[in-house]
Amino acid sequence: MSCSSNFLNAATATWEECRDFLNRHPYAILPLGATEQHGPHLPQNTDTLLAEALAGDVAEQSVGLVLPALPIGYSWVWRDYPGSLTFSFDTFRAAIKDIARSLDRNGCRALLIITAHGANPQPLKYTARELVDEIEMKILRVFYPNLSEIIADADSPTWLPMNFHAEEFETSLMLHLHPELVRMDRAVREYPPRSVDYEMSALPMGALSESGVFGDATVATAEKGERWFKACVASIVEVWQDFLKSIIDN
């Protein structure tokens, strides 16, 4: 993914190319990932790689200045796993605000934030609310919209609804996008017991699992990953285009 009439890679473009693109299409796409454990079979940058791939394909099928992925997110629940990195809640929100302010100053009218890490949406929600009173740019944030319908044909259930990690879905996407990074010989199936402490106290998700997997990674395939990835892209494109239409109509 480099550039075309409707999308541009901000990291490899010149400032003049960014200026000209935003003059034509004042819209940007920010992929948000994480650096955190993903079981014994997936790399720690799994969420970042997935977010980058989603952002690139969404831009190609719609419109947007594709920004560099933020490779660290809010990963407090994995902080005890060696190699996992996390911003504090406030640092993460501050980073997003600074990026948004930069884009707003550059004339961007709408920002699509695509996160592939499940803990990022909560701080994003409040960050976007606070920015409403400060900048003109509109923000749309997505985390796998319509995922329950997209993976209805999965061979394993999720640990909890929209609460999964390094299992069939993520492993399948990685087998499709980056098979050289997946160690399927180390893939495991683990469904930690449901925990009231996790749901209602400060117990981290990482304290519940021995492997770091929440679900079944052993049934993942590249074929499912390709099908699900394309469906996820289509779902994000739809909500992004509807969002842009509402801005243009107003």
Tens place of pLDDT for every residue, the chain, 250 residues? 444 689 999 999 999 999 999 999 999 999 999 999 999 999 999 999 999 999 999 999 999 999 999 999 999 999 999 999 999 999 999 999 999 999 999 999 999 999 999 999 999 999 999 999 999 999 999 999 999 999 999 999 999 887 899 999 999 999 999 999 999 999 999 999 888 888 888 888 889 999 999 999 999 999 999 999 999 999 999 999 999 999 887 6
CB 124 within 8 A of CB 154: no
Tokens read off for 105: 């100053």
How far, in Å, CA of 120 to CA of 55, rounded? Answer: 16
Q: Where are the domains of the chain?
A: 7-249
Q: Say what the pLDDT of residue 4 is.
A: 62
Whats the size of the chain, residue-wise?
250
How far, in Å, CA of 52 to CA of 34, rounded? Answer: 11
How far, in Å, CA of 149 to CA of 235, rounded? Answer: 11
Q: Going along the chain, which residue ranges are E strands?
A: 7-9, 27-32, 64-66, 110-115, 138-142, 189-190, 215-216
pTM of this structure:
0.95
- Nearest CA among 6, 17, 16, 85 for reference residue 45: 85
- What is 7-249's CATH number? 3.40.50.10310
Tell me whether strands 215-216 and 189-190 are parallel, antiparallel or unpaired: antiparallel
How far, in Å, CA of 9 to CA of 68, rounded? Answer: 8
